[in-house]
């Protein structure tokens, strides 16, 4: 399958709903994506349209949203399809994003569908909630309501008079008025469900994914096993993508694969797809490329990928093909070690099976990757060494290392333009070290002047002026003026004039006062913090908190920051502190927001290993969103115990707009409110 990926990171943080088809009847299919975005730290729902490769924002939900589900139908006007969105309420939009109606709901909407009722111009809208409510609406007015045990995950129309209500461990077959027809209890947690008329009898069956298998639930509620897996399946859809008249199961798994099973039996396709832990991918099938063939649409964390259909029926995929496909995707995502490993394994497979062409393809990729990895290793090593030397004050050698890193990144750019900003950063750091060297010459020149070493002072200031001038630094002019003053003073002292001595003494005193003032300013802090205390700062962005971290770092405190702000942005301000980003992405400088135990352990471990520690936790509202507020409050309480025991200092930065008033009050009761 050829793929085309559309990044949505500029518009949303998380994709949570996906629909594909011809929305406005112009025979040009669209992809409608529902997701979550953050405005001033508050989560809001957003709708985005992808049509002919163009991405545009359709609408933003008017209320706070933690989940977004979506369906398409004629809900309020018989003038074409409308987009119905469920969150902390229901919202009906036109195909161009105009809000037509909104309605309050009995809870957070977790499942939604539109039902075409024969004889009626408008569709019936049915929604399910996290509390287990199932509500039937006609023209958005409530008609019927019933409740099932556990929250509703999926809704499917079984036939004209009944529907399937799916929860985490059961499927309830109910009539449209709420009477139970039958109920099926699953042995394992239901991870994903899709509906399809498998036997062409005009009745909808369900394909259910659980922890280790796919099963078929018949119209009468009888379950039979279809497939068993060695992995955990995550999401699925059924469609005839092999175009052989038989249903195919398309699914994703925890290994990062998109798999196709022809006739619900034989695997015929495997593609590696990027996956973030604890994020369930979304799937849809439609002819989005308008070539008469069904395409698979994959919704990731903050992107949508279209896999143009090229699946041949009943052609088994070999282990080598799977490895080769995975390796190419790893390489495209610059996960070079995994890519190299899979290319190597694929090469071995193709050599053993006599496929010389594919073995040669693997060898070419291996050689190319090896060269890239060597260049990248040298570039990173030089850059890291430059950082170390710069922090130690060895600016001459630091500049050399940064320039070396820039050269290596320049060679990488010839292979991948992705590394352009890395080269620019290394070049900028080389200039920063060069400027720091000039600053050092300036300071040494002042010190030499105060000690009466006028010739040495003059030489040092001349070096500083030369560097500042070369860099185009604004300090060049003021330093040149200072150099002129020193040269005049040298002449006057050499002539032995008395007034020169007084001027010299005045300059020394002024210099001492300046230096003394600088020392005092370096020790000045915005607030006096005490060891063993936890402070709450209410701010939309953690600017004041980061400033305090910087100030106490100058006082000798070692710091740890856990924040939603990308680590590289904070690292520029807090170069000596440890930075971890709250993110589900598996990176060295990240920590998952849904694992509060790990967050606690990392912060506790840091406090126990440092003599004087200061820590910043930014993003309690985000941690609450990923878990619950109770979990976040419990984390704070346990951190307070650790801070008291190990005599650390903890700053907790909270965006007051991201939490409810009662939640803020609870936090203020636990911590000392710090107002700057």
Which tens digit of pLDDT belongs to each residue from 75-116? 887 677 899 999 999 999 999 999 999 999 998 999 999 998
Q: How many CA atoms lie within 13 A of 377 on its CB side?
A: 8
The pLDDT-based confidence of 409 (bands split at 50, 70, 90) is: very high
CATH of domain 533-673: 3.40.50.300
* Cα angle for residues 502, 505, 511 (degrees, 5° grid): 140
Tens of pLDDT, residue by residue over 298-307, are 998 889 999 8
Question: Do 579 and 570 form a contact (C-beta atoms < 8 A)?
Answer: yes
Please tell me the distance from the alpha carbon of residue 171 to that of residue 163, in angstroms, as a whole number: 10
Q: Which residues contact 616 (CB under 8 A, 6 or more apart)?
A: 542, 545, 546, 548, 549, 559, 560, 561, 562, 563, 650, 651, 652, 653
Long-range Cβ contact pairs of 561-568 (< 8 A, separation 24 or more): 561/615, 561/616, 561/618, 562/591, 562/599, 562/602, 562/603, 562/615, 562/616, 562/617, 562/618, 562/619, 563/616, 563/617, 563/618, 563/619, 563/653, 564/618, 564/619, 564/622, 565/541, 565/618
Q: Is residue 516 pLDDT above 60, yes or no?
A: no
pLDDT of residue 62: 87
Q: How do strand 533-538 and strand 672-673 relate by DSSP bridges?
A: parallel
What pLDDT shows up at residue 278? Answer: 63
- Indicate the SS3 state at residue 461: helix
Domain with CATH 3.40.50.300 in the chain: 533-673
pLDDT for residue 323 is more than 70? yes
Burial class (CB in 10 A: 0-12, 13-18, 19+), 61: buried
Residue indicated by tokens 């007084």: 502
Give residue 275's pLDDT: 63
Nearest-CA neighbor of 267 among 295, 232, 242?
A: 242
Whole-Å CA distances, 123 to 95, 106, 118, 141: 16, 20, 9, 12
Rounded Cα–Cα distance for residues 334 and 468 (Å): 38
Q: pLDDT exceeding 90 applies to what percent of the chain?
A: 48
For position 310, what pLDDT does the model report? 58
Residue range 24-34: mean pLDDT, rounded:
90
Average of per-residue pLDDT values in the chain: 87
Indicate the pLDDT class of residue 276, thresholds 50, 70 and 90. low
218-247 pLDDT, tens per residue? Answer: 999 999 999 998 888 999 999 988 888 889
Overall residue count recorded for the chain in this entry? 676
Which residues are 236's β-sheet partners? 251
Would you state the pLDDT for residue 611?
Answer: 78
Token duo for residue 599: 């967050």
Looking at residue 506, what is its pLDDT?
52
415-445 burial code (b ≥16 CB/10 A, e <16): eeeebeebbebbbebbbbbbbbbbbbbbebb
Q: How confident is the model at residue 206 (pLDDT cuts 50, 70, 90)?
A: very high
In whole angstroms, give the CA distance from residue 522 to residue 170. Answer: 64
- For domain 1-147, give the CATH number: 2.130.10.10
**Residues spanned by CATH 2.130.10.10 within the chain?**
1-147
Distances (CA, A) of 257 to 54, 234, 271: 27, 10, 5
The pLDDT of residue 394 is 86
At CB < 8 A and 24+ separation, what contacts does 524-529 make? 524/551, 525/551, 525/552, 525/555, 526/551, 526/676, 527/674, 527/676, 529/614, 529/649
CA distance 644 to 585: 32
Distance between CA 611 and CA 648 in Å, rounded? 9
Q: How far apart are CA 520 and CA 512, in angstroms?
A: 12
Read off the tokens for 365: 């990729």
Helices (H), 393-474: 395-413, 420-450, 454-471
Say which residues have a Cβ less than 8 Å from residue 196's Cβ, sequence separation at least 6: 204, 205, 207, 238, 239, 247
What is the pTM (predicted TM-score) of this model? Answer: 0.51
Residue 398 has pLDDT above 60, yes or no: yes
CA triplet 564, 569, 572: central angle to 5 degrees?
A: 140
């Amino acid at each position: 399958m050829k793929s085309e990926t559309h990044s949505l990171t500029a518009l949303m943080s998380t994709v949570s709903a996906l629909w594909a088809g011809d929305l406005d009847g112009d025979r040009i299919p669209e992809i409608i994506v529902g997701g979550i975005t953050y405005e001033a730290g508050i989560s809001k729902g957003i709708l985005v349209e992808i049509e002919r490769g163009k991405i545009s924002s359709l609408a933003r939900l008017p209320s706070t949203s933690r989940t977004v589900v979506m369906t398409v139908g004629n809900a309020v006007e018989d003038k074409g399809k409308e987009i119905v969105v469920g969150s902390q309420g229901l919202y009906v939009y036109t195909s161009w994003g105009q809000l037509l109606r909104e309605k309050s709901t009995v809870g957070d909407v977790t499942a939604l569908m539109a039902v075409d009722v024969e004889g009626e111009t408008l569709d019936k809208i049915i929604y399910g909630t996290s509390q287990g409510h199932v509500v039937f609406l006609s023209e958005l007015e409530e008609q019927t309501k019933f409740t099932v045990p556990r929250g509703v995950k999926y809704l499917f129309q079984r036939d004209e008079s009944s529907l399937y209500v799916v929860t985490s461990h059961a499927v309830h077959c109910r009539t449209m008025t709420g009477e139970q027809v039958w109920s099926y209890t699953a042995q394992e947690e239901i991870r994903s469900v899709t509906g399809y008329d498998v036997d062409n009898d005009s009745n909808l069956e369900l394909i259910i994914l659980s922890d280790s298998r796919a099963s078929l639930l018949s119209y009468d509620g009888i379950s039979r096993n279809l497939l068993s897996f060695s992995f955990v399946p995550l999401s699925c859809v059924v469609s005839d993508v092999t175009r052989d008249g038989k249903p195919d199961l398309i699914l994703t798994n925890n290994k990062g694969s998109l798999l196709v099973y022809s006739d619900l039996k034989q695997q015929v396709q495997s593609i590696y797809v990027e996956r973030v832990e604890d994020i369930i991918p979304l799937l849809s099938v439609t002819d989005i490329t308008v070539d008469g063939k069904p395409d698979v649409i994959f919704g990731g964390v903050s992107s949508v990928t279209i896999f143009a259909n090229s699946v041949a029926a009943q052609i088994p995929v070999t282990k080598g093909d799977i490895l080769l496909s995975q390796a190419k995707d790893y390489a495209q995502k610059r996960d070079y070690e995994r890519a190299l490993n899979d290319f190597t394994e694929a090469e071995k497979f193709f050599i053993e099976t006599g496929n010389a062409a594919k073995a040669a393809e693997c060898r070419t990729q291996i050689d190319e990757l090896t060269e890239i990895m060597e260049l990248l290793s040298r570039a990173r090593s030089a850059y890291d060494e430059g950082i170390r030397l710069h922090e130690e004050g060895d600016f001459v050698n630091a500049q050399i290392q940064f320039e070396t890193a820039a050269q290596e990144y320049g060679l990488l750019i010839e292979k991948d333009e992705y590394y352009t900003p890395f080269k620019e950063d290394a070049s900028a750091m080389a200039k920063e070290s060069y400027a720091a060297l000039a600053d050092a010459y300036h300071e040494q020149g002042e010190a030499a002047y105060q000690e009466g070493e006028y010739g040495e002072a003059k030489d040092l200031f001349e070096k500083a002026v030369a560097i500042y001038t070369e860099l185009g630094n604004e300090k060049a002019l003021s330093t040149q003026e200072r150099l002129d003053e020193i040269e005049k003073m040298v002449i006057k002292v050499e002539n032995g004039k008395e007034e020169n001595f007084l001027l010299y003494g005045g300059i020394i005193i002024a210099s001492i006062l300046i230096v003394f003032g600088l020392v005092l300013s370096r020790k000045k802090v915005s607030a006096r913090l005490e060891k063993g205390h936890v402070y709450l700062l209410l701010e939309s962005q953690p600017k004041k908190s980061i400033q305090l971290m910087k100030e106490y770092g100058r006082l000798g405190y070692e710091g740890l920051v856990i924040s939603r702000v990308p680590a590289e942005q904070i690292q520029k301000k807090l170069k000596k502190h440890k930075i971890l980003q709250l993110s589900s992405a598996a990176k060295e400088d990240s920590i998952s927001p849904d694992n509060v135990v790990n967050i606690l352990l990392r912060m506790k471990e840091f406090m126990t290993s440092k003599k004087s520690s200061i820590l910043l936790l930014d993003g309690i509202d985000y941690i609450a969103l990923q878990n619950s507020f109770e979990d976040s409050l419990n984390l704070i309480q346990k951190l307070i115990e650790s801070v008291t025991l190990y005599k650390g200092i903890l700053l907790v930065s909270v965006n007051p707009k991201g939490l409810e008033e009662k939640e803020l009050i609870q936090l203020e009761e636990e911590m000392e409110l710090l107002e700057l």
